[in-house]
Structure 1
């Protein structure tokens, strides 16, 4: 019974880790697809806005607000959700970005913007998966040794 609880516990770790790794891969693939097939352009950082936590307090991390024009000249203002401390870009800095023609509101900025989510989920997924799968395999090997 105790072994089954342990297997279930570490099975949950393995499942969560696997889900995190899938999210990391899908997010990374999405960013890479936009970079490969999207339109490359330049934008200007017009502001860096502070992150506000759930209690309404301002944190020290900031995300860029970037203004650019699409290929047909339409102005777009993009409010990045990638908060960093110190800020990734300075106000007035010209940066490279990529967007899909049918969705210019969701570009990928140069630098960490398209990599942060996959990186975080990839690291967490790897840790959870290693803990989960290692312990499941160890328990199954121990169980097999005890039987023989």
Structure 2
């Protein structure tokens, strides 16, 4: 019975780790696809906005607001969701972006904007998967040795 609980516990860790690793991989691939097949352009940071936490308090981290034009001249304002402290970019700074022609509202901004989410999910996924799969293997080996 104890081993079944252990298997369930480690199985949950392995499952969560695997899901996190899949999310990291899919997000990384999506980012790379946009960078490789999308349109590269320059934009200008027009603002750095503060992050507001769940209690409505302003934090010290900031995310850039970037304005750029598509190839047909349409202006687009991109509100990054990557908050950093200190800010990644200064107001007035020129930045590089990549976007898909059919979806310019979701570009990839140079810097950590494109790799932060895959990195976080990849690290957490690796930790959870290592704990889960090593626990499963260890439990199964112990079970096999007891049966022998």
Q: Structure 2-normalised TM-score?
A: 0.99
Structure 2 residue 57 is matched with structure 1 residue 49:
no
Partners of 2:30 and 2:83 lie apart in 1 by: 19
Partners of 1:61 and 1:10 lie apart in 2 by: 36
Partners of 1:126 and 1:86 lie apart in 2 by: 28
Give per-residue Cα distances to partners, 1:94-143, cap 9 Å, x unaligned. Answer: 01110000000000001100101000000000000000000000010111
SS of residue paired to 1:44: strand
The aligned residue for residue 137 of structure 1 is 137
Partners of 1:58 and 1:130 lie apart in 2 by: 37
Partners of 1:86 and 1:16 lie apart in 2 by: 32
SS of residue paired to 2:71: coil
Partners of 1:42 and 1:81 lie apart in 2 by: 19
Aligned residues: 148
Aligned ranges 1:109-148 → 2 under 5 Å: 109-148=109-148
Structure 2 residue 87 is matched with structure 1 residue 87:
yes
What displacement does 1:147 show? Answer: 1.1
Q: Structure 1-normalised TM-score?
A: 0.99
Q: Give structure 1 regions of 4+ aligned residues with deviation exceeding 4 angstroms.
A: none
Give per-residue Cα distances to partners, 1:4-59, cap 9 Å, x unaligned. Answer: 01110110000000000000001111111100000000000000001111111111
Aligned ranges 1:1-148 → 2 under 5 Å: 1-148=1-148
Give per-residue Cα distances to partners, 1:67-111, cap 9 Å, x unaligned. Answer: 000000000000001111111111110011100000000000011
Unaligned runs of 5+ in 1: none
Unaligned runs of 5+ in 2: none
